Amino acid sequence: MEYRKLGNTDLKLPVITHGAFAIGGNMWGGNDKQDSISSILASLDHGVSAIDTAPFYGFGLSEELVGEAIKGRDRTSIQLLSKFGLVWDGSNKGKGVFFFDAEESGKKIPVYRYAGKENIIKEVEESLKRLATDYIDLLQLHWPDQTTPIEETMETLEILIKQGKIRAAGVSNYNTAQLKEASETLLPASNQVSYSMLNREIEEELVPYTLANNIGIIAYSPMERGLLSGKYFRGGKLKENDHRQGYFTQFNLDKVQDLIQTLEPIAIDKQVTLSQLVLRWTSLQPGITAVLAGARNAQQAKENAQSAQVSLSAEDLETINKALEKL
Active-site positions? 57
CA angle 291, 164, 210 (to 5 degrees): 35
- Say if residues 188 and 208 touch (Cβ distance below 8 Å): no
Helical pair 253-270 and 314-324, crossing angle rounded to 10 deg = 170
159: CB partners within 8 A, 6+ apart? none
Query: What does the alpha-carbon distance between residue 135 and residue 62 come to, in Å, rounded to a whole number?
Result: 17
Of the candidates 75, 72, 69, the one whose C-alpha atom is nearest the C-alpha of residue 18 is 69
d(CA 8, CA 1): 21
In angstroms, the CA 170 to CA 158 distance is 11
231 burial type by CB count under 10 A (0-12 exposed, 13-18 middle, 19+ buried)? middle
Angle subtended by helix axes 298-306 and 33-45, to nearest 10: 30
End-to-end CA distance of the chain: 31
**Strands of the chain, DSSP E:** 3-5, 12-14, 16-19, 50-52, 79-84, 86-87, 97-104, 107-113, 136-141, 166-172, 190-194, 216-220, 288-294
What secondary structure does DSSP assign to 286-321, as a single string? TTEEEEEEE-SSHHHHHHHHHGGG----HHHHHHHH
Q: How many CB atoms lie within 10 A of CB 213?
A: 15
